[in-house]
Chains A and B, each alone.
Chain A
């Protein structure tokens, strides 16, 4: 994975000192809260309902065991002993004191971590496929490109006060695990007829109040032009994006209002001027970045492990975990292990400092010391020998980290909601816990099969509920929490926005309503192979509507 050189380290150290000064000026009253707000946001510090919250960047979701131990240290010393993995592959601490935050950032800088641009109207942490470098269907590891984007976007002097936040995602596989079509910019690595590497560029995807799937404005962008093209897009957006209305300020609205073609022309015109500039990426530069992400020292292993097969045969619990949480690896004899942060009835994405320390040890022992965070709020050990899976599973089980529900109904995604968030209209976590408990029985989860539920506590749609197979949106109606259901959304390479079924359900009704949807699916599917999404696409929403609202 990437290692800071002295320049990167210096920048992060300077940033910590700068923020320490800003905090001091706020505490002394020299800075008003209004003036301090964008500064703290650009350093990941939110003011939530009960406390400050610190969101630490995990660039493109890859981190190492030393960094995970430092998260545990921060959770133990400055927080209430736990952290929370977010839908942007980052980690949040919910209870730090403002006066401590410069020290926390200093502790994080020691392990090459920062909180720069995890909030604010600037370019946010670039996300990618959690299986990068391990996925068997990958054209190329997207992370060197993500790192290139990270550096270019870090404290960009021109793009620090954009109309609104700006999010990018990159996928290196045709199977899109990074939801690139619902980002402000989505990049899909592809090859042209000559086998040259480049990017398909999508712009204007996003969710929130006005969910939209991104439009492709460039079918093939040569790799050396990536930064100049991104700069052209951002420059067009910075000048022409709307600033009169916060809810119409994302680039998707600009693309929608002037049309994707006009937008593409503006970008093209701007790009012509800057294409041959210092922004051009040299082969040496990209080689250097690629060298950081070279495959680890894999052993030559047989494809089958007798020991592994024996354990799968003899231990049913382990066999279920393998079936649900283990994925194919491109290297023979290795596997990808998904670590569920969704224990039945638990808080999605939460992890204690004890679990963090233990997992760091397991990463060292079994996966080259490297960990991934996912936008589904889980973790991944990407390079585990199949013959080590049983020992890993035992270690995970001891820590309560072996829930075998990856991709199943209890692997649900929820935002912090009204339990923490100042923007929320309703609670998300307790609902997630109740749904998890309702469907917790493993046989029932297996029967229901692959399905994804996403719960957002407000229209800002942090969990991307519009592209959940079942999306749940909490709204406030005269002081009461209500939950709207959308069906049929998906965020993969066939991205589509789900349809709202009808009026919302009360807190008491919503879990039953979800169960009704599931029961209807089970009753009408053609066979157990037909997933919820396939069945929905075949029959449409009528049977679900009728079951929930009658035939009126």
Chain B
């Protein structure tokens, strides 16, 4: 497993804590259940806090708490379960979450780019470090043309055409 972020393989300093385990020192990621049950305890800690959502857990449930999290991990139980694409866009574009949105679970070569377009910025890829980085870099290169506006800042075909129309009208 390798965590890819900002075009680099990075060391994962975050600890995923199981619901029944004691809270360790250091930066931790907890489940939605744990967050709901142990909210006060978790907020008293000084180390980093993140939350992991299963694909059936809608981020609607945490939109008022986003300021407490540095990481939100969204799960792809299978790459064919596409709910988290919507969750990521809503977190970024609607709720202004600017921490890390991490894709975990079935995170594969042919989906990571779509994930990035939807606001994911960290990818837990099932491969060795070099292979994982190559997967990410290759996937990014494939498409350079986009019809849909998302929060990723990439120029859409529609905006490029608008610009052309304006330039033509001005000349």
Give chain A's interface residues, CB within 8 Å of chain B.
5, 7-8, 10-11, 14-15, 17-18, 21-22, 35, 38-39, 121, 151-152, 154-162, 235, 238-239, 243, 273, 277-279, 282, 284-285, 288
Q: In the complex the two chains form, is A159's CB within 8 Å of B82's CB?
A: yes
- Would you list 13 pairs from A and B whose C-beta atoms are within 8 A, ordered by A residue? A5-B161, A14-B145, A18-B142, A18-B143, A152-B148, A156-B148, A157-B148, A158-B85, A158-B114, A159-B85, A160-B82, A235-B86, A285-B162
Q: In the complex the two chains form, is A158's CB within 8 Å of B158's CB?
A: no
Partner of A279, one of B80, B113, B149: B149
Contacts of A22 in B (CB 8 A): 110
In chain B, positions 116-171 with a C-beta closer than 8 Å to chain A are 117-118, 142-150, 156-162, 165
Q: Does B108 contact A (CB under 8 A)?
A: yes
Tell me, rounded to whole Å, the shortest Cβ–Cβ distance linking A420 to chain B.
Answer: 25
Q: Does B14 contact A (CB under 8 A)?
A: no
Q: In the complex the two chains form, is B148's CB within 8 Å of A7's CB?
A: no
Q: In the complex the two chains form, is A10's CB within 8 Å of B149's CB?
A: no
Tell me, rounded to whole Å, the shortest Cβ–Cβ distance linking B83 to chain A.
Answer: 6
**Closest B residue to A279 using CB positions:** B149
B89-122 contact mask (Cβ, 8 Å, vs A): 1 or 0: 1000010000000000000101101110110000
Contacts of B160 in A (CB 8 A): 7
Contacts of B80 in A (CB 8 A): 38, 121, 161
Expressed in whole angstroms, the Cα–Cα distance for A278 and B161 within the complex equals: 13
Q: In the complex the two chains form, is B145's CB within 8 Å of A7's CB?
A: yes
Expressed in whole angstroms, the Cα–Cα distance for A22 and B114 within the complex equals: 16
Q: In the complex the two chains form, is B158's CB within 8 Å of A285's CB?
A: yes
Contacts of B16 in A (CB 8 A): none
Q: In the complex the two chains form, is A39's CB within 8 Å of B158's CB?
A: no
Contacts of B82 in A (CB 8 A): 121, 158-162, 238
Q: Does B81 contact A (CB under 8 A)?
A: yes
Partner of B114, one of A151, A157, A277, A284: A157
Partner of A10, one of B110, B114, B145: B145
Expressed in whole angstroms, the Cα–Cα distance for A156 and B156 within the complex equals: 12
Q: In the complex the two chains form, is B158's CB within 8 Å of A157's CB?
A: no
Q: Does B58 contact A (CB under 8 A)?
A: yes
**Closest B residue to A158 using CB positions:** B85
Tell me, rounded to whole Å, the shortest Cβ–Cβ distance linking A266 to chain B.
Answer: 12
Contact size range, B:
35 or more
Q: In the complex the two chains form, is A278's CB within 8 Å of B86's CB?
A: no
Contacts of B157 in A (CB 8 A): 7-8, 11, 151
**Closest A residue to B60 using CB positions:** A239
Expressed in whole angstroms, the Cα–Cα distance for A39 and B117 within the complex equals: 18
Q: In the complex the two chains form, is B114's CB within 8 Å of A239's CB?
A: no
Given contacts A161-B81, A238-B83, A238-B86, contact A155 B162 (CB under 8 A): no
Tell me, rounded to whole Å, the shortest Cβ–Cβ distance linking B159 to chain A.
Answer: 7
Tell me, rounded to whole Å, the shortest Cβ–Cβ distance linking A45 to chain B.
Answer: 14
List the 8 shortest-distance A-B pairs measured between CB atoms, nearest first. Answer: A161-B82, A157-B117, A278-B149, A11-B145, A157-B114, A7-B157, A158-B85, A151-B147
Contacts of A160 in B (CB 8 A): 82, 85, 114
Given contacts A7-B160, A158-B89, contact A243 B81 (CB under 8 A): yes
Tell me, rounded to whole Å, the shortest Cβ–Cβ distance linking B96 to chain A.
Answer: 13
Q: In the complex the two chains form, is A157's CB within 8 Å of B85's CB?
A: yes
Expressed in whole angstroms, the Cα–Cα distance for A11 and B108 within the complex equals: 22
Q: In the complex the two chains form, is A282's CB within 8 Å of B162's CB?
A: yes
Expressed in whole angstroms, the Cα–Cα distance for A44 and B61 within the complex equals: 38
Tell me, rounded to whole Å, the shortest Cβ–Cβ distance linking A8 to chain B.
Answer: 8
Residue with the greatest number of chain A CB neighbours at <10 A, chosen from B80, B144, B156: B80
**Closest A residue to B76 using CB positions:** A161
Q: In the complex the two chains form, is B162's CB within 8 Å of A239's CB?
A: no
Q: In the complex the two chains form, is A152's CB within 8 Å of B147's CB?
A: yes
Expressed in whole angstroms, the Cα–Cα distance for A151 and B149 within the complex equals: 12
Contacts of A7 in B (CB 8 A): 145, 157, 160-161
Expressed in whole angstroms, the Cα–Cα distance for A156 and B149 within the complex equals: 9
Expressed in whole angstroms, the Cα–Cα distance for A461 and B18 within the complex equals: 46
Q: Does B79 contact A (CB under 8 A)?
A: yes
Contacts of A11 in B (CB 8 A): 143, 145, 147, 157
Expressed in whole angstroms, the Cα–Cα distance for A158 and B157 within the complex equals: 17
Contacts of B108 in A (CB 8 A): 35
Q: In the complex the two chains form, is B159's CB within 8 Å of A17's CB?
A: no
**Closest A residue to B81 using CB positions:** A243
Given A158-B148, A282-B162, 12 more A-B residue pairs with CB atoms under 8 Å apart are A5-B161, A14-B144, A18-B143, A151-B157, A152-B147, A152-B148, A157-B85, A157-B113, A157-B148, A158-B85, A161-B111, A239-B58
Expressed in whole angstroms, the Cα–Cα distance for A38 and B106 within the complex equals: 14
Q: In the complex the two chains form, is A284's CB within 8 Å of B162's CB?
A: yes
Contacts of A121 in B (CB 8 A): 80, 82
Tell me, rounded to whole Å, the shortest Cβ–Cβ distance linking B4 to chain A.
Answer: 18
Expressed in whole angstroms, the Cα–Cα distance for A125 and B118 within the complex equals: 23
Q: In the complex the two chains form, is B83's CB within 8 Å of A155's CB?
A: no
Tell me, rounded to whole Å, the shortest Cβ–Cβ distance linking A16 to chain B.
Answer: 11
Expressed in whole angstroms, the Cα–Cα distance for A511 and B55 within the complex equals: 50
Contacts of B58 in A (CB 8 A): 239
Contacts of B159 in A (CB 8 A): 278
**Closest B residue to A277 using CB positions:** B149
Contacts of B156 in A (CB 8 A): 278
Given contacts A17-B142, A18-B142, contact A161 B147 (CB under 8 A): no
Tell me, rounded to whole Å, the shortest Cβ–Cβ distance linking B155 to chain A.
Answer: 10
Expressed in whole angstroms, the Cα–Cα distance for A321 and B104 within the complex equals: 62
Partner of A155, one of B111, B143, B158: B143
